[in-house]
Structure formats: structure tokens, C-alpha cells
Amino acid sequence: MPWKRSLALAALFSLFLAVWLAFPGAASLPQTASLVTFGLFTDLHAHDRDSPLDGKWMTHTEERLTAFTNSMNARAVDFVVQLGDFINGWLVLGADPGDPERVPSILAWADALYGAFDGPRYHVLGNHDLFNLDKAEIRSILGLDSTYYSFDAGSFHFVTLDVQYAEDGADLANTFSGVAGFVPDAELAWLRQDLAANRDRPTVVFVHQMLDTFVEEWGRPLVANQPDVQRALEEAGNVIAVFQGHDHAYRHEVVGGIHYVTFEALVDQDSPPSWAVITLDPLARTLSIEGVGEEPSETLRYGPGGDG
């Protein structure tokens, strides 16, 4: 009967609405909530020398970073972010690395190129960034108040993590090499507090070393206390994705209902320039990745009924 069908449809709609509203921030989103679009690259490895033995042609730094900023300006994205290893550090393999004292000027030069983007731009620290510098030098050159921080865009929240620490919580500095990471207690406490304070906003986390990787040879994760960090992200209930670099290869998996996406590198490794434009849709609850170069494109869903 028509009235029974109407009752059934009403019940289905009520169930859908209840599930949708269960996701953090859903109830507070206006029906006109706007898209947030941003540009992202990782592993630029800026240098004025090439490293032939490990196949990194870093003298193409200016060409590649300029192509990225020109594209982002043309797209008028809301902001841009780089996920670490912004510079390579002094050492190159198979060539004379030159004077190590010029590393700070290489960082300043790369940041000036990055500054051609006409809008907010954000930095994540990578392991290579600390090969010949300490964090105070990096903060001074890049104008950072802190190496981990958060910000908002539209109805979304964004968190930038610094995992460049030794396992005793000491800042890494002038390491010359190394890839392992760690999140100290103070930063982990800050992360939990920041996520709790923004529980009504779907949140994306930016980090360099991957937070979903176990290194068999070490018998431990790449970021030593990865389980603690993952637990903090999952318990918050509002983290929809972790965007990460370091591996120079695209990968996507879901852990604890959160998308973990590792992006291709921008540095020339006999490969085209690779970056991504990310579009977040708060009403459709989607993260759309538009890849350039060897970066794939895909659309991911979050929240109830999503991929995560």
C-alpha cells in the first residue's frame, strides 16, 4: 500500500541521516560547505649537484619546483604543502659534493622558489632535511614557529607532524644520513589535545616517514612508536587520512578506518615531475587525488559507508 511504502522510505531516510550525522562534523556542515583544494609534493631533494650513483638528477630542482608552483597558481588552489626531504643534504654519490657550508643557502634558494606560489604554503620536515642542519636553522630559514603544528581550511583540519627525533626524544640534527623516525611524548600529547579540540572537523595528517610501515630487517616500524601514533589517530575519531612521503612510490592502504597514502617524489629519478592536487568534498565525504606525472589518480571515501 502507498502509505506503507512511504513509511518504509521515511524509516530508511531516518537511518541514513542517523548514520551520516554520526560522523564527526557532519551535523555542523552547512549545505553550502565548500570544497577544499590543495597542491602536494614530496621529496624534492633540492641540490645544485646530481647524484649519479643513486640516480637523482637534482640540478633539475628549479625546473620542477617552478612547474609545480606555476600549476598551483593557475589552479588557484587554497594552499600547498611539501611532505619533507625538501633538500637533499650535502652528500651526493658519484660526484664532488662541494662545500657543505652552502647547504643553508640551498634551503633558502629552494624556499624562495616555493614562495612563488601565491598563497599559504606549508612544510613538513624529512630525514634528509636534518643531514647537515639542525631544527633551529631550518625554522629560521623557513620562518617556522614550530616543526609540528596544525591549521584549518574550509571545514577541514590539518595536522603537520615532525618525526625527526631519536628514540630518546632528542631532536635529530646534522645526522649526515639515517631514515628512522620517532614521535616524542610531548608531541604525542599535543597531537591528542589538538585532535580532541577539533573533533568536529574531518582531519588530514601530513608526515614524512610512513606511519603504516614495518621494516623487517629492523624488526620494528619505520617510525619506532608507530602503534602509539596510530592509536592516537584512531581514538580521535576525526582523522580521515594520513598523507606521507619518503618512499618515492605511490601506495594506499586503510588502517583502522584511516586512509594512508604515500606519494611519488618530485625529484628527477629518470622520471617525470610528479605531484598531486587534492580536493576534499565535505558533503560527498570524498578525497579526490588528481595525479601528475607518475602519481596515480583516485577518489577515496571517508566516514560511514566509505572506503575507510
> The whole model's pTM is what?
0.90
**Comparing C-alpha atoms, which of 120, 15, 131 is closest to residue 73?**
120
pLDDT band at 16 (very low <50, low <70, confident <90, very high): very low
Does residue 7 lie in a domain region? no
Nearest-angstrom CA–CA distance, 173 and 129: 9
Does residue 44 lie in a domain region? yes
**pLDDT tens digit sequence for 146-172:** 999 999 999 999 999 999 999 999 999
Cell 633558502 -> residue: 108
Does residue 50 lie in a domain region? yes
Nearest-angstrom CA–CA distance, 284 and 24: 14
Total number of domains constituting the chain: 1
- Mean pLDDT over residues 230-252, rounded? 98
Residue 276 lies in domain = 30-301
Query: What's the pLDDT score for residue 1?
Result: 46
Nearest-angstrom CA–CA distance, 144 and 166: 21
Does residue 135 lie in a domain region? yes
Q: Residue 78: pLDDT above 90? A: yes
Give the chain's length.
Answer: 308
Q: Residue 277: pLDDT above 80? A: yes
Does residue 15 lie in a domain region? no
**Comparing C-alpha atoms, which of 29, 10, 81, 26 is closest to residue 237?**
26
Does residue 22 lie in a domain region? no
Which CATH number goes with the domain that contains 287?
Answer: 3.60.21.10
Query: What's the pLDDT score for residue 278?
Result: 98
- Residue 6 CB: number of other CB atoms within 10 A? 10
The chain-wide mean pLDDT, for the chain, equals: 91
Percentage, residues of the chain above pLDDT 90: 87
Does residue 179 lie in a domain region? yes
The enclosing H or E element of 99 equals none
Nearest-angstrom CA–CA distance, 265 and 208: 12
**Comparing C-alpha atoms, which of 121, 129, 106, 108 is closest to residue 158?**
121
Does residue 308 lie in a domain region? no
